[in-house]
Copies of this chain bind each other. A is one copy, B any other.
Amino acid sequence: MRDERDWGQFHTAENLAKSIAIEAGELLECFQWDPDADDARVKEELADVVTYCILLADRLGVDLDAIVTAKLESTRAKYPAEKAKGRSTKYDAL
Taking Cβ atoms with an 8 Å cutoff, the residues of A that contact B are: 1, 4-7, 9-10, 12-15, 17-35, 37, 39, 42-44, 46-51, 53-54, 56-57, 60, 62, 64, 67-68, 70-72, 75-76, 79, 81, 84-86, 88
Q: Which residues on B sit within 8 Å (CB–CB) of A26?
A: 22, 25
Contact A17 B34 (CB under 8 A): no
Contact B25 A21 (CB under 8 A): yes
The verdict on A7 contacting B47 (CB below 8 Å), with A25-B21, A31-B14, A68-B54 known, is no
A38 → chain B, closest Cβ, in Å?
11
A75 → chain B, closest Cβ, in Å?
8
Taking the full assembly, how many copies of this chain does it contain? 4
Q: Roughly how many angstroms separate A43 CA and B50 CA in the complex, as a whole number?
A: 14
A82 → chain B, closest Cβ, in Å?
9
